[in-house]
């Protein structure tokens, strides 16, 4: 299809500025051009459908960097995951990716699901059998025996076993490697204050993933695990919670390790909307560990000031984190972490695309880029909550939502 999209504003992620009085030209799956409104020649563009959004702001599609497609987000999610069969989990995943797409997520990285489900969902989306974003998958995460997410992970303990698991995942056809560097809150019996792998093992995993041309993301709550992951040279640290090892302490933030993360160009997905969603929606059972949201945001702001590049992961599927919730991430970045609306949008698009190694195709509005586009009703650069008001969505040049009406 061919479209002319004329909004009030265009978020230019190239210059970190706003373009007004311009039209975005879409030809098939690509952005063909961006031209001034007074240069739109009806004789040239007679075959294009012209859509106008007098109050709209046009920007790249959102990039969700951390989802678990076959987990529900409900309070009973752990029980569901551990009792339901793969067929039911596959149906859950199918519904989840559609919901994400219709919230404006045009690219979605899944960081932990059974291979049998994540590979099938990615293929179904690619073949247009089901509606969903462009899927980037890690498949089954690598974890220790009985470790975090062992119920859908690959349980390995020694260096040789971990290297073999990396190679097996490469052979299976996943896009990223996910390794559980520390325990986690979702899995009973694991310890989010202690590492699961030592530096030698994690370094070997990183080295072999990179040898195979793959990037690796490490789940890290414990400060010791963050330090190991940063030293090992992972590409993406997930959570980066700085949990102190001592039972009597909450955080053990180490600015020198934060500087190492920044200097090595390691992207951090702080999953920073989770506390906000728990406050918003409550929990039937208490959170597994204590938290101090205010102090957490102060630490994250310091990391940002040190030059660490953040990416936007929801941890969709975890309790209270649903697949249509993406807009809460930039909202929390602005309202609680204290960065600008433009920086929050850039993190949700351009920077996350860079982390994925896809900045040549997605994350910006410019000629030649994939036509993954979100148009909000209102200006999120004035009020970040406008990102919840998604009016129209294009994915790969196809309109999947128009004037608030879902078309898939």
Structure tokens belonging to residue 244: 């102190």
Asked if residue 271 belongs to a domain, the reply is yes
The alpha helices in 127-185, defined as continuous H runs, are: 159-172
> Quick one: 49 and 145 in the same domain?
no
For residues 83 and 46, membership in a common domain is answered with no
Count how many domains the chain has: 2
Q: What is the pLDDT of residue 175?
A: 98
**CA-to-CA distance for 300 and 290, rounded, in angstroms?**
17
41 shares its domain with 95:
no
Q: What are the pLDDT digits (tens) for 9-47?
A: 999 999 999 999 999 999 999 999 999 999 999 889 999
Q: Residue with structure tokens 């102190």?
A: 244
pLDDT of residue 289: 56
pTM over 0.95: yes
Residue for token digits 């936007």?
312
C-alpha separations of 173 from 148, 183, 393, 402 in Å: 23, 26, 29, 34
Look at residue 251 and tell me if it is in a domain.
yes
Whole-number pLDDT of residue 21: 96
Same domain? 277 vs 389: no
Low-confidence stretches of the chain (pLDDT beneath 70): 284-290
Residue 213: half-sphere exposure toward Cβ, Cα within 13 Å: 5
Same domain, 87 and 135: yes
User: Are 84 and 206 within one domain?
Assistant: yes
């Amino acid at each position: 299809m061919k479209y002319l999209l004329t909004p009030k504003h265009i978020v230019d992620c190239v210059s970190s500025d706003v373009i007004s009085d311009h039209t975005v030209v879409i030809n098939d799956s690509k952005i063909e051009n961006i031209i001034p409104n007074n240069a739109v020649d009806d004789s040239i563009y007679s075959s294009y459908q012209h859509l106008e959004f007098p109050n709209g702001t046009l920007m790249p599609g959102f990039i969700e960097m951390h989802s678990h497609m076959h987990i529900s987000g409900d309070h009973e999610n752990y029980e569901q995951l551990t009792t339901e069969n793969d067929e039911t989990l596959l149906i859950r995943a199918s519904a989840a990716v559609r919901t994400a797409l219709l919230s404006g997520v045009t690219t979605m990285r899944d960081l932990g699901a059974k291979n049998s489900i994540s590979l099938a969902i990615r293929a179904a989306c690619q073949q247009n059998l089901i509606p969903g974003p462009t899927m980037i998958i890690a498949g089954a995460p690598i974890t220790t025996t009985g470790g975090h997410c062992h119920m859908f992970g690959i349980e390995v303990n020694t260096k040789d076993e971990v290297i073999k698991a990396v190679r097996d995942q490469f052979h299976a056809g996943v896009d990223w490697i996910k390794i559980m560097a520390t325990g986690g809150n979702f899995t009973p019996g694991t310890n989010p204050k202690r590492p699961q792998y030592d530096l030698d093992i994690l370094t070997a995993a990183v080295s072999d993933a990179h040898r195979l041309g793959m990037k690796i993301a490490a789940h890290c709550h414990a400060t010791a695990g963050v330090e190991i992951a940063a030293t090992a040279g992972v590409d993406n640290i997930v959570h980066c919670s700085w949990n102190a090892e001592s039972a009597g302490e909450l955080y053990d933030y180490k600015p020198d390790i934060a500087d190492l993360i920044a200097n090595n160009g390691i992207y951090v997905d702080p999953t920073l909307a989770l506390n906000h969603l728990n406050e918003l929606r409550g929990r039937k059972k208490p959170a597994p560990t204590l938290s101090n949201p205010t102090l957490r945001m102060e630490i994250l702001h310091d990391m940002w000031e040190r030059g660490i590049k953040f990416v936007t992961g929801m941890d969709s599927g975890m309790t209270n984190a649903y697949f249509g919730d993406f807009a809460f991430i930039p909202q929390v970045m602005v309202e609680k972490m204290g960065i600008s609306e433009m920086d929050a949008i850039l993190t949700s698009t351009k920077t996350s695309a860079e982390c994925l190694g896809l900045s040549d195709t997605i994350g910006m509005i410019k000629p030649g880029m994939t036509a993954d586009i979100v148009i909000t009703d209102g200006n999120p650069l004035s009020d970040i909550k406008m990102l919840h008001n998604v009016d129209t969505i294009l994915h790969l040049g196809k309109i999947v939502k128009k004037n608030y009406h879902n078309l898939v």
